[in-house]
């Protein structure tokens, strides 16, 4: 246990439904999730015990700077590196041809890269709706949770790949379509498993494994590539 000042800060999020303590690191931010009634001293001690792991994870996270979306950038689409080509002064739909993605950008927009990234997200959402919605229904039915699924939505966030509510609404990030198909399937499996287990217990991971036996490898892919997908940003 360390008693020296930490070279990082962390945010504590409490939940009445949580039974365990967990540390999450994303985008260089450390978040500790804990039960509502757990003493603050116990939470701090838990963080101290994992001090070395936190430092190691932060170092790895910072070694992979967030990728800026720009003309000519190489980004994964379906897991395959694809060059982004912004065509200024044109209109119409985004077109994927081989390893090139052509994104029309109007002359009237003030921030072309931000506009193009938003267009890309919209395009990815359409692909996700066409491909993943049926997978979600199928996976839910395979674990006898089809009746618990009420809706599927797609939303761009900078904090999580997916979410499942107690009301049975599953939310997926459109940029999951940048990942290979097997990674897309893992995200579906993860969120569908929450229809049965609204936690990350051993039983939850057993359900994920039932839907995706290689989930550990696929989960790692998301962690390793989040800087070019989930955290992708545009600066004009």
d(CA 33, CA 23): 6
Burial per residue of 42-52, b for 16 or more beta-carbon CB atoms within 10 angstroms, e otherwise:
ebeebbeeeee
Q: What pLDDT does 27 receive?
A: 64
The answer to whether residue 3 scores a pLDDT higher than 50 is no
41-50, 65-74, 175-184: the lowest-pLDDT one: 65-74
Q: What pLDDT does 126 receive?
A: 97
The answer to whether residue 117 scores a pLDDT higher than 50 is yes
The answer to whether residue 227 scores a pLDDT higher than 90 is no
Q: Structural domain boundaries of the chain?
A: 10-62, 68-234
In terms of Cβ atoms closer than 10 Å to its own Cβ (0-12, 13-18, 19+), residue 211 is: buried
H or E stretch covering 31: strand 29-35
Collapsing DSSP to helix, strand or coil, 169 comes out as: strand
Q: What pLDDT does 1 receive?
A: 41
Q: What pLDDT does 174 receive?
A: 97
CATH architecture for the domain at 68-234:
2-Layer Sandwich (3.30)
The answer to whether residue 193 scores a pLDDT higher than 80 is yes
State the number of CA atoms in the 13 A half-sphere of 212 facing the CB: 26
pTM metric for this prediction: 0.75
Q: What pLDDT does 65 receive?
A: 60
The answer to whether residue 161 scores a pLDDT higher than 90 is yes
Q: What pLDDT does 92 receive?
A: 87
Q: Which of residues 227 and 10 earns the better pLDDT score?
A: 10
Most confident by average pLDDT, 11-20, 106-115, 184-193: 184-193
d(CA 117, CA 67): 12
Sign of CA dihedral 89, 91, 94, 96: negative
pLDDT tens track for 29-58: 889 999 999 999 999 999 999 998 988 888
Q: What pLDDT does 185 receive?
A: 98
Q: What pLDDT does 233 receive?
A: 87
* Average pLDDT score over the chain: 91
Q: What pLDDT does 168 receive?
A: 97
């Amino acid at each position: 246990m360390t008693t020296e000042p930490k070279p990082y800060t962390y945010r504590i999020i409490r939940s009445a439904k949580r039974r365990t303590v967990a540390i999450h690191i994303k985008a260089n931010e450390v978040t500790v999730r804990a039960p509502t009634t757990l003493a603050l001293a116990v939470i701090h001690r838990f963080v101290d015990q994992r001090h070395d792991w936190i430092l190691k994870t932060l170092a790895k996270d910072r070694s992979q700077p967030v990728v800026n979306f720009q003309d000519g950038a190489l980004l994964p689409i379906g897991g395959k590196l694809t060059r982004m080509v912004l065509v200024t002064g044109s209109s119409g739909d985004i077109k994927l041809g081989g390893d090139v993605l052509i994104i029309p950008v109007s002359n009237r927009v003030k921030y072309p890269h931000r506009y193009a990234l938003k267009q890309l997200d919209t395009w990815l959402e359409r692909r996700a709706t066409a491909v993943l919605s049926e997978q979600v229904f199928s996976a839910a039915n395979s674990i006898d949770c089809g009746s618990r699924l009420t809706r599927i939505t797609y939303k761009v966030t900078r904090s999580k790949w997916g979410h499942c509510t107690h009301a049975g609404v599953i939310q997926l990030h459109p940029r999951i379509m940048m990942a290979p198909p097997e990674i897309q399937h893992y995200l579906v499996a993860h969120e569908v498993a929450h229809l049965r287990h609204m936690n990350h217990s051993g039983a939850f991971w057993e359900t994920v494994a039932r839907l995706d036996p290689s989930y550990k490898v696929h989960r790692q892919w998301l962690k390793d590539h989040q800087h070019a997908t989930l955290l992708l940003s545009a600066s004009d």
